[in-house]
Structure 1
């Protein structure tokens, strides 16, 4: 958290009967700097990275009743990553490098909800895929509380990972952490 400059996530879904269309966007910017021992090679190093991931998908409910809804889903996730590295002082004073990539992966999996009571429910998903990346995955689990038919709050945990490499650029990352949100239905 000391190096997190900004992070945001938003999820949207439209349903018609058993069919759904959904989208998911995430953005994070992380930066930091540190001094180096003895300062011979460099007295300090600064790094910043921006990551964007956007998913568009469709789903079909294979189970859909008052208590349980389970969707089989498929879609595509686009990733865009940019990293900047710069050195100050020492032998590398003024040297900086930038690298990045943008790619798309196909994704498939399941999404679902389970109502424990009329107010309390469990929700989550599991997706896996590949394409330009060797592996792309996304899992989440959350507990929700319905304040009304149109407003809920959710708290849970999400982890997603990707293993991408191309022409010397490597992005083998797992992003994970708690989620807290508001669900609005209309």
Structure 2
């Protein structure tokens, strides 16, 4: 258990997987550029994005009697990243829209023990999935802007495994995890300042299995031409989940940088 206490702060660096995903083209997770469909009036967007966020909050796993406070910047998390991915997709028709925002990361770390009696090495693997799925309706729309009322659900899946190698406990492993769903409501929108610059953002809040679940973002975009545009913004996401001794009360926030390619 002493090993778990020492390693738990490192484990929790990966509990919000979105902090460290890689993408060839990075875009804001707010309201991505639409690509016109050939027919039917539909517009579509599918975009990976990059979010250089840090993580802070309180967590508890594996039946530990106390919570652990975690505070890590993006570089700390990136050092332990094994795999990560983020993507958002949206389809719009007239005033209606459906969308999804997927976040996944797998972090791992290993460390030698001080005496090597019970175990010579401890390996820690943490996987987190957060998927937001919803629909929206434009309550305000004109040639330069729109404002959507949106509703949906966010699915969380957080899992951590500790494996021991060598010593008396060689080959033993223990895992802990939870899956939960929160209903979300909010608004998102876009405003074209001129032919090149535009503002975009969203704000969502909800609850369900978690006491509270929220997500806000804002960005400014620059359209180079019909094919390329760039985005720079900021996103913050928080969740407070506490059930059966599993505590996941964290806030993740950081800048968003993006390059959108239309095709």
Q: TM-score, normalised by structure 2?
A: 0.62
> Structure 1 residues 83, 28: closer, same or farther in 2, change over 3 A?
same
**Is 1:78 equivalent to 2:119 in the alignment?**
no
Q: Displacement, 1:92?
A: 5.5
Number of positions where the alignment pairs a residue of Structure 1 with one of Structure 2: 186
Q: Displacement, 1:141?
A: 1.7
Q: Distance in 2 between matches of 1:38 and 1:114?
A: 61
Q: Displacement, 1:93?
A: 5.1
**Is 1:68 equivalent to 2:145 in the alignment?**
yes
Structure 1 unaligned segments of length 5 or more: list them.
none
Quote the RMSD (CA, aligned, Å): 2.4
Structure in which a larger fraction of residues adopt strand: 1
Query: What is residue 165 of structure 1 aligned with on the other side?
Result: 242
User: Which of 108, 113, 130 in structure 1 is aligned with 2:185?
Assistant: 108
Structure 2 unaligned segments of length 5 or more: list them.
1-77
Structure in which a larger fraction of residues adopt helix: 2
Deviates more, 1:157-166 or 1:168-177: 168-177
Deviates more, 1:98-107 or 1:42-51: 42-51
Q: Distance in 2 between matches of 1:132 and 1:8?
A: 25
Q: Distance in 1 between matches of 2:242 and 2:195?
A: 46
Query: What is residue 85 of structure 2 aligned with on the other side?
Result: 8
Query: What is residue 25 of structure 2 aligned with on the other side?
Result: none
What secondary structure does 1:5 align onto? strand
User: Which of 135, 156, 163 in structure 2 is aligned with 1:58?
Assistant: 135
> Structure 1 residues 149, 62: closer, same or farther in 2, change over 3 A?
farther
User: Which of 202, 219, 234 in structure 2 is aligned with 1:142?
Assistant: 219
Q: Distance in 2 between matches of 1:139 and 1:171?
A: 19
